[in-house]
Structure 1
């Protein structure tokens, strides 16, 4: 156990670094680790050094395998195999390609690894798992949005070995080259098709595919919201417990075989055969399930137990878990970057700690009930750390979901899979039974998802608060003889009630959220909150309102939104509005083009004004005259001026040069100004006269990385440079936080990409300031495309 814990600490130390050490240092530390491992008193130090050196080396190799920066935006001809199950949507088919060869202009490239690919405008029907294809791809390095409380796509890319993202260029070079002879994913695809053909209800079929083979392609965002609200995402896509059920299925088959042929006991005693039988069944199921991390952890534990039993050696649960942890760290130390790694191992460790030996007929019921309470409390700190939310109804929902899914639906799915492989006609009965139970189960979960506390959002936390809460959870579940166990609850306080400094009277703060090629700005005074725009929503159902804006609001502790302004109807400003309105239905809504929105909103007009906490808000546009009122598009954008005692913020939407003069005149003179650059830095806006009149001290461009519009335009960047403004681009800096104190000029207090800088982050620290136009030009949609793919 000490060896596994020390090696884990070494890997964690690597993930805290802003930059990786050189390979020479990795080699030196590994040599030092070998020396210390031979000394009993220093053995723990040796394992720690070994974990650090091994994890750093593997991370270095993974980052070095990424697409070279100079090849971004270039068309590369690749040959590779479809890895996993392709995801077909209305706008595109998405899949992972395991690259074997790559060429640029006929010259070979040293590019190998996994590439996430989108095939727009209708991928051919023959595209399937395990197929070999030659494709012309437009590629970029994995890059994602960076926001407070946001999902880290770049970390996930490193953990999953993604070396590039891109899309297929439709040319004559794209063609199928055949298929691999032996491929598990093709078998998984056949099983998925078999389930779909035998279950009438598409949603029931999607659930059964998830339970049977870990195929979640048929589940949408609403399904995952229901799962999160009930605390059961781990049950949807093949949990480790399901693999254990498969192991028990193998034990049962072995028992039947030994009963049918008693002579087998003369060669191998049944108690010795149980372990290999469980491992074989679990291994087959784990492979069919796609080999997720909880699956691998359970397989490792079953393998350890089977080896011990077969070798007639003893070993407790903690020892088995430690050996499984050590095995995963040796095979793939980068697995420690995944949330599933921590939820899996920490959850099992707490169950072992809390559920001691219990005898009697009610043992199962006690363990089931207490187990759900243990998992809810023990995993709460990690859920808040990774996802920013927890479910207060999860323990109750799991009391029903765990036995129903694990002991009814999953065994029926196992029988159906076995039947599909051996006697397909026999699969209809277990699938019909499983579908009926799954349908009723999901109906209950949907209703429970609406209960109070189903979605419990918590502000962004810090590592030490999460660590304290984990210690507090362990303290709560120590043996009964330990005194004052309830004091462990006190260690949860920094996590559940973190310090939330708010602006003073007459002051405010703003966050220009990183939504790629779009806009969303959050403004907060001492007691009120306003959101200006909500990013885009794409045909793939990737919604920036859901994926970027709401996590920022929750991370900043926003439990009420007083006003929601949607500047105009363009998708990059209004696409995510429905998701935000659904989360904050009581917020007053207004827009410059309410008729173009998918939700009700009042019209905003120049002259409207209000005051919150000593901060004045004024609408400077659109004008109410007939010329603007009958216009459509950018010039009808709501233009909002926020005025504190010592600083101002202007949010002009997508206005162009035609109305900039009126806006500048209405803004007038006042304290130093921070400006969100109109229309993402387009050439049609930020005219010299507009900038000369306002003379902003700070200017923020909200644009996508390598966007196809070339925003911000080089001449616009030059204009801001000429007036001495500090110009920052969210494409380089991530979300930008600006403070407007009551007694000092506005200042940028955080560039999120710098604040969350780790060695896997793309770009360079301090790279948010714009001194030159964004690199290159690509015809993909931008940074948001990478986030959607990941």
Structure 2
């Protein structure tokens, strides 16, 4: 299994960082490679590497088709969409993500996620709300400095199909409020509650980071302090945080079973796992289902499956299987941290 995970990652990396993607029709060879994988056990490593390369290339082609068309680059258009995350405020500027986009007079595959800047701080959209903006959109490109940060690859790995800025216009308005059934509504509500109840606190930004995975309100001085002390990574909600929440609610489920939940027909372990699963999913949703939380959920699911089916799976195998599943779901994740 670890060798299969290595082949999967190498194939995806070759597609992501290669000079050029193969033509999309090469993906038609994937069924042939999969058949050879089952009937030629001595060459499975190479075949799986080829399968991962073809699969990743096909997925990358699909995502690139949704990038902003060059014919609409640097054009001012009316853009409507749902605010996909908690907006970040920085010195008179609001940075936000829009999803479920609808661009006026746009032809071609519609971009799915846009990263926009709004140079004002009086009207702050809330996560989950639908807005319409007059914005100047651009293709998500970066600088051509091979020694510097690859901003274009960073945007691609996060699914950003368009960037730009919002112009000062009377057309900018809210179309609909956030639905209470969405995770973004509760993320924004919890963030607002933290701001209101912790107005006199010294570290509200840290509380938001640990509760919601949102680090946009951490002051620069605190960020530098965390980085210099080597504990900045603890603010990124990942396996550690998901594991702590899962363990706490697993114990809570076992305790609640003794208090009377045994009458529902489930045994103690099943009740405990039910509590743990709901808690892990809820915490991951509050964190915006970021890549680290998705990795942790997959590992947690593998552990639950192994215990439920009474199969023995060691740590290395579970990590390898989680890597394979993550690359299958989204090959762009190999370029993320």
- The TM-score with structure 1 as length reference comes to 0.41
Displacement of 1:152 in angstroms is 1.6
Displacement of 1:192 in angstroms is 1.2
Displacement of 1:246 in angstroms is 0.6
Q: CA deviation digits over 1:607-651, x for unaligned, max 9?
A: xxxxxxxxxxxxxxxxxxxxxxxxxxxxxxxxxxxxxxxxxxxxx
Distance 1:262 1:70 in 2: 61
Contact 1:131 1:180 in 2 (8 A): yes
Mapped pair 1:26 → 2:27: yes
Closer/same/farther in 2, CA of residues 148 and 229 from structure 1, 3 Å limit: farther
Distance 2:225 2:146 in 1: 24
Point out which structure has higher relative CO (alpha carbons under 8 A, 6+ apart). Answer: 2
| Structure 1 unpaired stretches of 5+ | 341-790
Root-mean-square deviation over aligned CA pairs: 2.0
Contact 2:89 2:217 in 1 (8 A): no
Q: Which residue of structure 2 aligns with residue 302 of structure 1?
A: 300
Closer/same/farther in 2, CA of residues 131 and 249 from structure 1, 3 Å limit: same
Contact 1:92 1:123 in 2 (8 A): no
Q: CA deviation digits over 1:348-403, x for unaligned, max 9?
A: xxxxxxxxxxxxxxxxxxxxxxxxxxxxxxxxxxxxxxxxxxxxxxxxxxxxxxxx
Q: Which residue of structure 2 aligns with residue 257 of structure 1?
A: 256
Q: Which residue of structure 2 aligns with residue 114 of structure 1?
A: 113
Q: Which residue of structure 2 aligns with residue 378 of structure 1?
A: none
Closer/same/farther in 2, CA of residues 121 and 269 from structure 1, 3 Å limit: closer
Q: CA deviation digits over 1:86-108, x for unaligned, max 9?
A: 1123322110011432124xx65
Q: CA deviation digits over 1:559-617, x for unaligned, max 9?
A: xxxxxxxxxxxxxxxxxxxxxxxxxxxxxxxxxxxxxxxxxxxxxxxxxxxxxxxxxxx
Matches within 5 A, 1:399-414: none
Distance 1:206 1:198 in 2: 13
Q: CA deviation digits over 1:161-199, x for unaligned, max 9?
A: 111111112223222110342221121111111122222
Closer/same/farther in 2, CA of residues 55 and 109 from structure 1, 3 Å limit: closer
Displacement of 1:254 in angstroms is 0.5
Contact 1:159 1:335 in 2 (8 A): yes
Distance 1:52 1:148 in 2: 23
Distance 1:47 1:81 in 2: 39
SS in structure 1 opposite 2:98?
strand
Distance 1:99 1:297 in 2: 25
Displacement of 1:202 in angstroms is 4.8
Distance 1:123 1:262 in 2: 50
- The TM-score with structure 2 as length reference comes to 0.92
Structure 1 consecutive aligned stretches of length 4 or more whose deviation exceeds 4 Å: none
Q: Which residue of structure 1 aligns with residue 62 of structure 2?
A: 61
Closer/same/farther in 2, CA of residues 146 and 231 from structure 1, 3 Å limit: farther
Q: Which residue of structure 2 aligns with residue 17 of structure 1?
A: 18
Q: Which residue of structure 1 aligns with residue 215 of structure 2?
A: 216
Closer/same/farther in 2, CA of residues 295 and 94 from structure 1, 3 Å limit: same
Distance 2:202 2:144 in 1: 33
Distance 2:335 2:122 in 1: 33
Q: Which residue of structure 2 aligns with residue 235 of structure 1?
A: 234
Displacement of 1:149 in angstroms is 4.4
Q: Which residue of structure 2 aligns with residue 6 of structure 1?
A: 7
Q: Which residue of structure 2 aligns with residue 312 of structure 1?
A: 310
Distance 1:275 1:166 in 2: 45
Distance 2:100 2:265 in 1: 47
Q: Which residue of structure 2 aligns with residue 35 of structure 1?
A: 35
Distance 1:77 1:109 in 2: 16
Q: CA deviation digits over 1:175-231, x for unaligned, max 9?
A: 211034222112111111112222244541111111111121211333222222222
Higher-Rg structure is: 1
Matches within 5 A, 1:143-292: 143-147=141-145, 149-181=147-179, 182-261=181-260, 263-264=262-263, 267-292=265-290
Contact 1:83 1:96 in 2 (8 A): yes
Q: CA deviation digits over 1:23-58, x for unaligned, max 9?
A: 011222x12322222223333333212211111111
SS in structure 2 opposite 1:171?
coil
Distance 1:261 1:276 in 2: 15
Distance 1:298 1:176 in 2: 35
